[in-house]
Amino acid sequence: MSKVHNFSAGPSILPKEVIDACVEGIQNFSGTGLSVLEVSHRGKEFIAVVEEAQATLKELMGIPEGYEILFLGGGASMQFLMVAYNLLETKGAYLKTGVWASNAIKEAKYIGNVEVVASSEDKNFSYIPKNYTIPSDADYFHCASNNTIYGSQMQSFPDSPVTMVCDMSSDILSKRVDVSKFGLIYAGAQKNMGPAGVTVVIVRKDILGKVSRQIPSMMNYKVHIDKETMFNTPPVFPIFAMLQNLKWVKKVGGVAEMQKRAAARANLLYDEIDNNPLFQGTVETGDRSQMNACFLLKDTALEEKFNAAWKAAGISGIKGHRLVGGYRASMYNALPIESVEALVNVMRNFNK
């Protein structure tokens, strides 16, 4: 079978050895003679998977003491509501940088008062707002570190006077982050950590239990912590697959190596976008995402021919989101530099 260069925005590319390990687990999990798809989530073999995944993630991200790691269902979209349920008492402060940040704001408004401290909606979310003030009377400040649809990324995080919460769904494990700056980090796994189906929540325990409302059990972080992330049946196979991917990240050099690879991929592609007269980027240069590079053909009449060219080269998944148009090359951790080279070669040859 010919090589496919997978630039899917998510569910995204996984390393071949991770897929191979998942296949083995489906056929014979941990020597049990059973598939991981059919084992008890309370059996000692799967409990060991959960504990190893938590320990490996803690090591990779340098998660300090005082934090708990949960593996939950519902996707990152469920966290939009869970965050507000558990933390919003008087007011939540939000940074509006794209669709998912907007959805988080929408969900939080069902629970209480929300203040949008800054927004880039005025320019179709093509930049990250700067020089905004986080109100000190807010219960927390919420931001999204990377915007998959629009291709912008926070290059640094503010020094927040209140608990900082971050949706890191699409760039977690791609660069080093000081976890101690955050009260809560959440991320859907299907970009850099594993397949769709499990959401990771990293929460500092001392920020919980401070709201006056009653919280439904399924929405209550403390309930999930007390039940060791098994209040209900967890997404067993996605957690197993995530562990295989975390082990791969550790094996190849950890987050430092992922950060190095991300920079190399992004620099190669953005350099071509900026120097090829047929193309242009859609995001302000200093706010460009290393995970999702969005770009346009200056002459849309050429799109049909360009589409044929990249498809012929075995490239998949670079059509842009309907809200932006053009093209979006998603370059998550498992994408080899050779795939970016293949795309760049197509762009260069197309210009010739």
Tell me what the mean pLDDT of segment 258-266 comes to: 98
DSSP state of 288: B
Q: Is residue 167 annotated as part of the catalytic site, yes or no?
A: yes
> Which residue among 139, 191, 287, 310 is the active-site one?
191
**How is 170-197 classified by DSSP, letter by letter?**
TTTTSS---GGG-SEEEEESTTTTSSTT
Q: What pLDDT score does 3 carry? A: 80
Summarize pLDDT for 9-40 with one digit per residue, the tens. 999 999 999 999 999 999 999 999 999 999 99
> Which residue among 167, 171, 175, 310 is the active-site one?
167
> Which residue among 100, 171, 175, 287 is the active-site one?
100
Tell me the pLDDT of the chain averaged across its residues.
Answer: 97
The residue type at 194: G
HSE-CB of 193 using CA atoms within 13 angstroms: 29
Is the confidence at residue 64, as pLDDT, over 60? yes
Which stretches within the chain are classed as H helix? 16-27, 44-61, 75-87, 99-109, 221-226, 236-252, 254-275, 303-312, 337-351
Token output for 108: 């939080």
Tell me what the mean pLDDT of segment 66-86 comes to: 98
Q: Is residue 137 annotated as part of the catalytic site, yes or no?
A: no
Is the confidence at residue 65, as pLDDT, over 90? yes
Q: What pLDDT score does 297 carry? A: 97
Is the confidence at residue 245, as pLDDT, over 70? yes
Summarize pLDDT for 296-317 with one digit per residue, the tens. 999 999 999 999 999 999 999 9
131 phi and psi angles, rounded to 5 deg: 55, 35
Summarize pLDDT for 92-145 with one digit per residue, the tens. 999 999 999 999 999 999 999 999 999 999 999 999 999 999 999 999 999 999
Task: Count the Cβ atoms, other than its own, within 10 Å of residue 335.
Answer: 22
Summarize pLDDT for 268-279 with one digit per residue, the tens. 999 999 999 999
**Domains of the chain from N-terminus onward:** 16-252 (3.40.640.10), 253-351 (3.90.1150.10)
